[in-house]
Amino acid sequence: MKLSNGTEVIAKPYREEDAEEIVRLIHRNFREVNVKDYGEKAVDALLTTHDVNWFKSVAEYAHVYVFWKEDKIVGVGSISGFWGSLTESILLTVFVLPDFHGQGIGSYIIHTLESDELFLRAERIEIPSSITAVDFYRKKGYEYKNGIKELDEEQHYRLEKFRSICN
């Protein structure tokens, strides 16, 4: 995928050696972007729970894609089956390096995840969205789960998209 300035961004499968840089990217989003909606106390709590071991555990059950601009990780996204379901999936850990917000990388991440076999087999796809990202996901066709526009106990909006599966 080419950015508006002509720079190419490439999606690659996750490698364990990428985990630390990915977690730094996620932490930057928490500190620089999500803090505006959640406050410093909530972000501090996220920083302690979302560490390298947490990310490696996600990578054990999810398909994780890493987005590179030359030799720098600029985005990450993952998809997993939803609680073991064969007909439902969930998008997780969708983040773009703050320096690259608004350049199309988030859309490229969603496109990549929606091309994954776990998306293509699913009838319903859910995403726990931060307050910050809810409008972005809604533009991608995700709507409030069961029409309910309220934050859950994790302070996420639950969004979903339905696909019709043709035989």
- Whether the CB-CB separation of 12 and 66 falls below 8 Å is answered with yes
Residue 66, both tokens: 């890493």
Percent of the chain with pLDDT over 70: 98
Query: Which CATH class, in words, describes the domain spanning 9-126?
Result: alpha beta
Q: Indicate whether 167 pLDDT > 70.
A: no
pLDDT of residue 165: 61
Confidence (pTM): 0.94
pLDDT tens string 129-146: 999 999 999 999 999 999
- Can you list the positions of beta strands (E) in the chain? 9-13, 63-69, 72-81, 88-96, 124-129, 143-144, 157-162
pLDDT of residue 6: 78
Q: Taking residues 101-123, what's their average pLDDT? A: 96
Question: Residue 141: CA atoms inside 13 Å, Cβ hemisphere, count?
Answer: 9
pLDDT of residue 166: 53
